[in-house]
Amino acid sequence: MEQREYIARTSGLKLRDYVGYALIDTAGCLIFSLVTTLLQKYYTDILHLSPLFIMLMFIGARIWDAINDPIMGRIADVAKPGRSGRYRPWVLYAAIPLALTGVLMFTKLPNMGEPETTVFTCVYATVTYVLFGMVYTMLQIPYGSLASVVTTDDKERNKLSVFRSIGAALGSIPVLLIASFAYAKRTDAAGNIVLGENGRALTDMQYKPVIIGVVVMAIVSAALLLLAYTMNRERVRTKPQPKETGATKKAIALLFRNRPFVAISLVSMLLLSGQMFTQSFYTYLFDDYFHANWMNLATQACTYSPMLIFMFFLPKMAGKIGKKEVTAVGLTLAALSNLVLFFLRGMAPGKLMWIFLALNFLSGCGLTTLVMQLWAMVTDSTDDIEVKTGSRDTGTAYSVFNFFRKLGQVLSAICVNGALLGMHYRYEKGAVQTPENLKIMYDLATLIPAVLFGIMAILLFVAYPLSKRRVAELQEQKEQNLKESYENKQIDI
């Protein structure tokens, strides 16, 4: 037998495979970016919901996810694979429902947002948000599991992770156009433009451009998922896991006993929390503090543009130095960049904005090292579990990992809405923020990401054990596992 014969037989990806895999996250992020960037502002400024209700709603939705996510993961593990595979069909199943729930979240029915319809507005917002979360889970858990059966080669999985990150970034860009053009200058009863405390015109989010943009993005998302379904192929055909009493509990217990899986799950939770916090809170910061909505687009360009540079050499760097080693240093850079921004809080907003964007670019460079390798690191941790325990409950693993990421959404909601409540943010129609509020807003917008990214760096340095050497050892053990599984007819190749 040639060295790594079975890994070779379950690999060999072409450009079509990488692009098709990335398109799934492009489509998903077209809708998810609406939630991370616009939904918070839409709830407060269009529907006039209180930050306290929004925070409680987000927490309640995550409590439901604690039940819903493992169910979805177990369904993926025990269901009999069809002709198109085990995980790939869910891309097709989720295409239309994801688009519909995305539009419903941003549909403002007559009189919604008025004081007399507050109860109805709260109920509608809760139902549509929970429905979206369930559909998004139906897509994301099988999608995460798909990487384990598309290829077993470590280098190809790393490239898949890079392509997935690029796909996610491309899916996150269009919402920035909506965020930049969905505002209009505020006028008083006489038609005069209302100025803020720094003499700049105040702006308000407008519903019409938001809903038009949402509908367009939903249509494109559905089309891309249908295309991606045709471009992906499962090279490892796993047998369904047996339906045993207590199997889900046992599988989850194995996950929580695996140090790499817990560490990377916590890192991903904090990553999503930091990303969602900045994307949501920056809309307030740029609108109320800088009075420059164009910065929504500019700061995201600073955050995502490093991918265009790193995509050419990061996989080779990670292969030479190690994924863990590169990302830990990158996260340290991201934390320090935001900390410097915090200490520059005394500068005038007009002078600070360009420095703010420059340090956002440095922070983006640091975060990119993790974002582009995160999914490969997750797959490494599931390989570690399989090698040590023989468990192939990949769907269950990704359901738990996905739940950690949703806990990141909860943490983000607490940070965003807690900050708004703490600074007494005025969300009623036509409100103007006080200078004291704006100072607190800037401090929190820079200090919270610095703390979150710093904790992530520490977790990777201290708690995540899959160094370059350990990942190389996993590949050798994975080859032996594949050989035994194939000979025992547990998988088809």
Q: Which of 462, 463, 493 is nearest to 479 (CA)?
A: 493
Q: Report the mean per-residue pLDDT for the chain.
A: 87
The answer to the question of residue 6 being in a domain is no
Measured distance CA(489)–CA(247) in Å, rounded: 21
Q: For the segment 276-334, what is each residue's pLDDT rounded down to a tens digit?
A: 899 888 888 998 889 888 888 888 788 888 988 888 888 888 888 999 999 999 999 99
At which residue do the structure tokens 């949402």 appear?
A: 214
Task: Out of 137-146, 227-236, 393-402, pick the least confident.
Answer: 393-402
pLDDT band of residue 221 (cuts 50, 70, 90) is: very high
Cβ–Cβ under 8 Å, residues 334 and 275: no
Please tell me the predicted confidence (pLDDT) of residue 242: 65
pLDDT digits (tens, 9 = 90+) for 326-355: 999 999 999 999 999 999 998 988 889 999
7 found inside a domain: no
The per-residue DSSP string of 111-125 comes to: TTTSGGGHHHHHHHH
Convert the pLDDT of each residue in 152-204 to its tens digit: 888 888 888 889 989 998 998 898 788 778 777 777 667 778 776 656 677 77
Q: Is the pLDDT of residue 383 over 70?
A: yes
Q: Residue 291 is part of which domain span?
A: 13-492
Distance CA 407, CA 65 (A): 9
Q: What is the tally of structural domains in the chain?
A: 1
Q: What is the CATH number of the domain that holds 433?
A: 1.20.1250.20
Polymer length in residues for the chain: 493
Q: In what helix (H) or strand (E) does residue 151 lie, and over which residues does it extend? A: none
Average pLDDT over residues 103-109: 96
* pLDDT value for 276: 85
Retrieve residue 372's tokens: 């582009």
CA distance from start to end of the chain: 16
Q: Look at residue 2 and tell me if it is in a domain.
A: no
Residue 336 to residue 329: CA distance in whole angstroms: 11
Q: Cα 29 from chain centroid? A: 8
* Within-domain flag for 135: yes
**Residue 1 falls within a domain, yes or no?**
no
Phi-psi domain of 4 (left: phi exceeds 0; alpha: psi -120 through 50; beta: other):
left
Q: Which of 52-61, 300-309, 360-369, 387-396 has the lowest mean pLDDT?
A: 387-396
Report d(CA 360, CA 333) in Å as an integer.
11
Query: Residue 248: its pLDDT value, please?
Result: 74
Beta-bridge partner residues of 82:
85
Higher pLDDT, 245 or 339: 339
Per-residue confidence (pLDDT) for residue 1, from 0 to 100 = 38
Would you tell me how many other CB atoms lie within 10 Å of the CB of residue 240? 12
In the structure encoding, which two tokens stand for residue 81, read together? Answer: 């694979």
> Is residue 478 helix, strand or coil?
helix
In a domain, 5, yes or no: no
The Cα 167–Cα 27 span in angstroms is 8
Determine the Cα–Cα distance for residues 450 and 284; give it in Å rounded to an integer.
Answer: 18
Give the separation between CA 273 and CA 36, rounded to whole angstroms.
10
